[in-house]
Amino acid sequence: MTLAVLSQALSLVLDPYVLWVVFASAAFGLFVGAIPGLTATMATALLVPVTFFMPPVPAIAAIVTATAMAIFAGDIPSCLLRMPGTAASAAYTDEAYAMTKKGHGEMALGAGLVFSAVGGLFGTAVLIAAAPALAEVALKFSSFEYFWLVVLGLSSAVFLTFGSPLKGVVSLLLGLLVAAVGLDNPAAFPRFTFGNAELSGGLTLIPIMIGMFAVSEILRNVAAMEQPWEMAQARIGNVFTGMWRLAKRYPLGILRGSALGTAIGALPGAGADIAAWMSYAISKKFSKEPEKFGTGHVEGIVEAGASNNSALAGAWIPSLVFGIPGDSITAIVIGVLYIKGLNPGPTVFMEKAPEMYAIFFIFIIANLLMLPLGVAAIKGAKQLLRAPRELLMPVILLFCIVGSFAINNSLFGVVLMLVFGLLAYVMEENGFPVAPAILGMVLGAMLEEHFISSMIKSDGRLLGFFERPIAGALGGLALLVIAWPLVRAWLERKGGKP
């Protein structure tokens, strides 16, 4: 990295247009994150049609800022309504609400805000240090390594969650089947197109994602519209009071949460929500006062709050370096990167260095901006949570329609959005997770291509997949993840409940 690159990156970021986009998407992210039922992934899916028309740096900046804000803002309704604003806050929603009930709402919100920013900056630092270095290594990767990375990502998405692994596999297979539609396969044969021109290019992923992440959420919201939201605490004082004391009291927890979050984020396929659950559990396990957990104790919020925001930055490492998404947000981002000509891969750090460093700068700005804007969001929480859902949901729905249409200027996009929105709704109602399907759609073509070229290289011997050292290690790791449910079941049987 040279000074010239850095100054080029800075000038890309300090453009008034970019800064305006950052502010606007920050406000958007805070709003979407704070409303229960509107998630960070949904914020990303809704932003894509708009970023479609922007230059690369502001387009990516919009998504980075909005998601960072949304993951923090998810803590606000956790404290006030006992409803997580995004899935990443669910791990400590009960804890935060219990704190508010005890009259410590300020501290719960403040810890969420301050340690979200700390975790986010930690994850960003790792991203800046690790991604270009990893890219150097990845330059030597062949189809074997890529094949195993894809398998690792897909299996993490299926097996490192809480639901039924079998249903996760089903979801993944459905995603892979969607990816198989069209001409984009090694033989360039039109598969499952039924002579339809719209299908020969493959199913456009952005309307599908708007359907699966936004329309399905709206359906869920609409079905549950009758229950009013009740706020636990109306007045909120200074949220920064006592934060320094917390930082001095739990330095290890903050570091552990940030590091684990970054690692889980960087693991292809696992994202902020899993990071928060794991960090909360670890915090309880190593705490000096584990009996206080669940009664309104801040320690777990500090660690898990840092963890989910650091995971967000960590997820960009495999996305930028290998084009393999770290979570469902970056699964959408990868599509945007391709559209913007910032094709992810190890060479992107040489060919598009100023843009990459501009993205890093945006991460830093977004996490710093989180502090003042977060305070404003907390202060305005009362009004924010009173946003009339009966007016909001229809407007979001219209926005989804226009967004899905705008990608190809085709009504087929709206049809895709509806079909996949319904599918995702029914799937989630029946315990089939949606994330593996998304990863399957994004990675299907890559999986097939690298498998076939590896098979040709190794002359059809499966052992050839383990003969290169890094490929072998990645393969071993992937097999470990696949075996994880069995290991967990065995551990549970051996030692009672974990």
Partner 1 sequence: MKINDALSGAALVALGAAVLWHIQGFPPMPGQKFGPAWFPGLIAAGLIACGALLAATRLRAATRDPLLALPAWTRRARPLASLAAVVAGLVVYVLAVDTLGFHITAVALLMVWSRLLGAAWRFALPVAGAATVIIHLAFYKLLKVPLPWGLLKGVVF
**Interface ranges with partner 1 (CB under 8 A):** 50, 52-53, 166-167, 169-170, 173-174, 176-177, 180, 185-187, 189, 191-192, 215, 218-219, 222-226, 388-391, 393-395, 397-399, 401-402, 405-406, 409, 411, 414-415, 417-418, 422, 426, 429-430, 448, 451-452, 455-456, 460
Q: How far is the CB of 416 from partner 1 (least distance, A)?
A: 11
Q: Which residues partner with 275 through β-bridges?
A: none
Cβ proximity to partner 1: between 80 and 400 the closer is 400
State which residue, 54 or 117, has the beta carbon closest to partner 1: 54
Q: How far is the CB of 224 from partner 1 (least distance, A)?
A: 7
Q: Report whether 26 contacts 7 (CB < 8 A).
A: no
Quote the least distance from Cβ 406 to partner 1, whole Å.
4
Q: How many CB atoms lie within 10 A of CB 490?
A: 11
Q: What is the Cα–Cα distance from 268 to 232, expressed in whole angstroms?
A: 38
Residue 157 or 312: which CB sits closer to partner 1? 157
Structure token digits, residue 144: 């074997």
> Can you list the alpha helix ranges (DSSP code H) found in 430-458?
435-457
Which residues, other chains included, contact 437 with Cβ-Cβ below 8 Å and sequence gap of 6+? 171, 172, 174, 175, 178, 212, 424, 427
Q: Which of 259, 260, 268 is nearest to 326 (CA)?
A: 268
Q: Is 7 helix (H, G, I), strand (E, B) or coil?
A: helix
Q: Smallest gap, in angstroms, from Cβ of residue 480 to partner 1? A: 21
Which tokens go with 80?
């006030």
Least distance between partner 1 and beta carbon 233 (Å): 26
Q: Please spell the DSSP secondary structure of 146-191, one letter per residue.
A: HHHHHHHHHHHHHHSSSS-HHHHHHHHHHHHHHHTSBS-STT---B
- Count CA atoms within 13 Å of residue 357 on its CB side: 17
Residue 409 CB, shortest distance to partner 1, in Å, is: 6
Q: What angle do CA 67, 68, 71 make, to 5 degrees?
A: 80
Q: How far is the CB of 300 from partner 1 (least distance, A)?
A: 32
In one-letter notation, the amino acid at residue 244 is W
Toward partner 1, which CB reaches closer, 182 or 265?
182
Closer Cβ to partner 1, 281 or 392, answer by number:
392
C-beta neighbour count of 487 within 10 angstroms: 10
As measured in angstroms, the least distance from the Cβ of 271 to partner 1 is 24
Query: In angstroms, what is the minimal distance from the CB of 456 to partner 1?
Result: 7
φ/ψ of 191, rounded to 5, equals: -95, 140
For partner 1, which is the closer residue by CB, 300 or 421? 421
Non-local (6+) Cβ contacts of 391 within 8 A are none
| Minimum CB distance to partner 1 smaller for 300 or for 403 | 403
CB nearer to partner 1: pick between 327 and 428? 428
Residue 182 phi, psi dihedral angles, 5° rounding = 105, -170
- Which residue, 230 or 459, has its beta carbon nearer to partner 1? 459
CA–CA distances in Å: residue 26 to residues 14, 358, 477, 498: 16, 17, 37, 40
Question: Which single residue is written with the structure tokens 């240090």?
Answer: 129
Please, what is the minimum distance in Å from the beta carbon of residue 67 to partner 1?
A: 21
Query: What 8-state DSSP symbol labels residue 291?
Result: G
Which residue lies nearer to partner 1 by CB, 8 or 142? 142
